[in-house]
Structure 1
C-alpha cells in the first residue's frame, strides 16, 4: 500500500472532497438524513435565523432540527439580522407592535446554553431589533415547567404568538412531539400579551401576572401550615410519641389480660372453666362427676 494512501484530504491539509453532485460531504450527509427520516425541506413563510454556538447536544437541539428541516439559517459571528432578534441582550420585550417587523424580516434566536451565556459575544451578533421575551413557561423535555428557560423553537414560537401569528407558532412547534404543549401551557398568558400594544404594556401585564402568582403561592403556604405534616415541627419526635403511646396501650392491655388469665381455670382436657366471683361452685361439682376413658373421651 502506498505511503499516505489511507490519509484523508483533511489530514493532509487539503479541502474536503465533494460528491458527484458537487456538494460537500456535510451537505450530502444532511440531505441523506432528511431522506432517511422521510422528511423534506420545509420552507417557512418568513426568514428564520440563528447564531449557533454548539453548546447543546445535536440530538436534542431544537435549532439544529429546524436546520435539518431547512427551516432556519445559521448565521456567522459578525453577521447581523434585520428582523426581530430574540436575545438575552435585549432591553425591550416582544410586543404586538413588532408584528410588521416579523412579517417583513422574520425572527432569529441565539442558540446557546443558559449556563454559558458569558461565552457568547453578544456585541458581535444581533441587530437593530433585539428583544427579550416576557414571562413564559418551558414545555421542552429538558426544562419542562421552568419559567424563562425556553429553547430555540419555543422562543421563536413565543415571538410569533405574541405578535398574533399563532399559526406560524403552531407550524414550528408541530415538528416536535412536545411542541403543541407549549401553546397549551401558556395559553392564558399569551392571550393576555396579544391584547397589549407596545413593550411597556406587555411588561405591565407580565408584572400583574407575576404578582398574581406570588399571591397564590402565599395563600397555598398559609393553608399548608394547617394541613401539611412537614410544616408542623419535628415529625420524627411526633412519630416517636405516637409509638410510645401505642406501646403503653399495648402494655396496659397485656396487664389486663394477665389479670384475667389468673382467674381462668381449665379442666383435664384443657377446656376453660368459667369461674366468676358470683359462681356458686356448681360447675366444680358437675366436673367432679364427669369420668373419662383412656383416650380422654367422656364416658
Structure 2
C-alpha cells in the first residue's frame, strides 16, 4: 500500500522543466522562438553546411547562426535554393533571382585549404553555383581575390541578382562588412548588367584581361610617360629647384652689390691716402 501510495504521490509532482543538458526547457523554447523571429525578419531562407574548420570566434557563418539568421544543415540534407559552392558548375547570375527569392541561398562553411575533406556529393542541391571574380574584405583574407567567407558569399549572391539591400542587411552585422560592397562596386555593377551564367563569365574574363593590360602598361611606363602624366613628387622637386635657383640669383646680386660697395669704400680710403694735407695729389691711382 505504502509503495503504491508513494508512486501516486510521485505522479502528482510537477515534472522537471530541465532537459538532459541541464538547461530549462521553457528557457530553451523561448530562445528558439527568438531565433525563429529573427530569421523570419530576413526576406529569404539562409542555410549552410558547417564543417567546423574555422575559429568559432572569427567564423562569419557561426555569427550569423548565433544571430538566428541562418540554419545549419546536416550532411545528407539538400537545399532547394541557390547553393554557393566550390562544386558549382556555373556562376551566380541575374537569372538566378527568381530561385533566390523563392527558396533563398546557402553556402558551404569550410576552409579553402581543406576542400578535399568535404563530401560534396551529400550536400548542395539542384542550383549549385560558383561566384565570379570578387575581392575579399574580411580580416583573414583582405584584398585577396576569390577568398570570400560565408557572409561575403551570401552577400555577393544577393548583390549579383539585384538585391543589394539584402546584401547590406547581412553585412551590417560585421564592422568590415560594407567595405566588401565598396571595393567590389564596379564588379557588381558589371555583373548586374548580365543575364545568364555565360554572360557573367564573359564579363568577368573581359574585366580580368583589361586589368592585366593596365597592370602591364604601368610596368612599361618610362620616366617621360610619368612626367607627362604629372608626377606630383617630380613637380614639387622642380618647383623647389626653381625657387632655390631664384634664391641663389638673388643672393648673387646682393653679394655683387656688397662687393661693389666694398670696392668703392676701399677706393675712397685709397684716395684719401694718396692726398697730402693740402689736398694735393701725391701719385696717380690705378683702379
When normalised by structure 2's length, the TM-score is 0.67
| Per-residue deviation, 1:17 | 2.7
Provide the residue aligned with 2:64 in structure 1: 66
Secondary structure at the residue paired with 2:220? helix
Identify which of 42, 45, 48 aligns with 2:46.
48
Provide the residue aligned with 2:219 in structure 1: 221
| Structural mapping, 1:30-49, within 5 Å | 41-42=38-39, 43-49=41-47
Identify which of 131, 140, 143 aligns with 1:142.
140
Secondary structure at the residue paired with 2:65? helix
Give unmatched runs, 5+ long, in structure 1: 1-14, 228-299
| Per-residue deviation, 1:192 | 0.6
| Structural mapping, 1:60-99, within 5 Å | 60-99=58-97
Superposed CA deviations along residues 8-30 of structure 1, whole A, max 9, x for unmatched, are xxxxxxx9434233566xx99xx
Superposed CA deviations along residues 128-183 of structure 1, whole A, max 9, x for unmatched, are 00000000000000000100000000000000000000000000000000000000
| Per-residue deviation, 1:225 | 9.1
Provide the residue aligned with 1:151 in structure 2: 149
Count of aligned pairs: 205
Q: Higher helix proportion, which one? A: 2
Provide the residue aligned with 1:174 in structure 2: 172
Provide the residue aligned with 2:232 in structure 1: none
Q: Which moved more, 1:209-218 or 1:64-73?
A: 209-218
Secondary structure at the residue paired with 2:128? strand
Identify which of 122, 125, 146 aligns with 2:123.
125
Q: Distance in 2 between matches of 1:62 and 1:102?
A: 20
When normalised by structure 1's length, the TM-score is 0.64
Give unmatched runs, 5+ long, in structure 2: 1-18, 226-287
Secondary structure at the residue paired with 1:56? coil
Identify which of 203, 206, 209 aligns with 1:208.
206
| Per-residue deviation, 1:224 | 7.5
| Per-residue deviation, 1:213 | 1.0
Secondary structure at the residue paired with 2:221? helix
Q: Distance in 2 between matches of 1:129 and 1:153?
A: 19
| Per-residue deviation, 1:215 | 0.5
Q: Distance in 2 between matches of 1:93 and 1:209?
A: 15
Secondary structure at the residue paired with 1:223? coil
CA gap of 1:59–1:200, structure 2 versus 1, over 3 A, is same
